[in-house]
Amino acid sequence: MSNQFTIREHRNYEVWYFQVHFGIHAMRVEWTRDKASSDWQVHTYLFHSKGDLYGVHGHQAAPNWLETHTTRAGFEDLAWDLSFQPASSWMSVLPDSLEAAQIYDVQLKHLPLVVFSGTITIGSKEYKLDAYKGSVGHYFGRKAAENWWWLQATDMEESGYHVSALAMRSGLLGSKPVYKIGYVHIETPHWTRHITAPLARLSIQGGQPSLHLTYKPLFDQNVEIRFSGEHFLHPRPGIRLTLLGDLYVYMGGELVCHCLGKAAAERRLVNAKNI
């Protein structure tokens, strides 16, 4: 495994995931572990473009089901055998040099664009994937973020574009979570834009089913992310997930790119306060 794929056994909380769209379906698989148990659990979520949703929860799993370039597993009526190649660089909330300090409650590291090939079998039907777009990620830390919105779109209407954004409330060095932390990353065939909060001001409006994030750097154009989606699964208490949303990106008030029906959103809201 590369350093990015190293399990953080000394952290209280850890999640690995991959997600991919294939035809009218989308799938996300998570491996989770927390301080209360050293066992890994696998959670599988399937979405259909017509709004049919179902998930498989709570199976014990070996973390090596997700290797550096492959993932394969099978149980009940679902199986997959996939290889993947990164089509983007690793992204992090914090640089690797600051990871050990655990400045924030949780650290996110992910590949926002990955190309998958192989097979996914649902019941008796096998789907063949040939260079389908998705992503791979990893987050870990002292605890899960109490308030968290994560958005991603890898299959934009504009060819070669992909976008990821994070907004969360976190403490610093274990303090009470009062700080708005996040980033937005836009990559196109011609340019890349990356903004980090709190270096930029972060404004969050709305919630489920719609969300409006605005990143306001001091000396550059604002970036706005508008997300809407109706088909949410409830993986665990306080968490909402969809892979079937719409996402629009504006820069300086002008539409830059958009994704229809294939944008991902994960919301974690542990307490009742707005983020």
Residue pLDDT, tens place only, 52-98: 766 665 666 655 577 789 998 887 788 999 999 999 888 876 656 55
Question: Terminal CA-to-CA distance of the chain, rounded, Å?
Answer: 36
DSSP 100: G
For CA atoms 56, 32, 145, 245, the dihedral sign is negative
Query: Between these two residues, 33 and 83, which has the higher pLDDT value?
Result: 83
User: Is the model more confident about 204 or about 127?
Assistant: 127
Q: pLDDT over 70 for what percent of the chain?
A: 78
How large is the average pLDDT for residues 112-125?
Answer: 94
- Token pair recorded at residue 83: 């290889």
- For the cut 80, the answer to whether the pLDDT of residue 39 exceeds it is no
Question: Has residue 220 got a pLDDT over 80?
Answer: yes
pLDDT of residue 106: 73
% of the chain with per-residue pLDDT over 90: 42
Mean pLDDT, the chain, integer: 82
> Over the range 164-197, which residues count as b (16 or more CB within 10 Å of their CB) and which as e?
bbbbbbbbeeeeebebbbbbbbbbbeeeebebbb
What are 117's two structure tokens? 């090939």
Tokens of 135: 């992503």
Chain centroid to Cα 214, Å, comes to 18
pTM reported for the whole predicted model = 0.85
Q: How many whole angstroms separate alpha carbon 231 and alpha carbon 51? A: 6
User: Is the pLDDT score of 258 beyond 70?
Assistant: yes
Amino acid at 142: R
pLDDT value, residue 74? 83
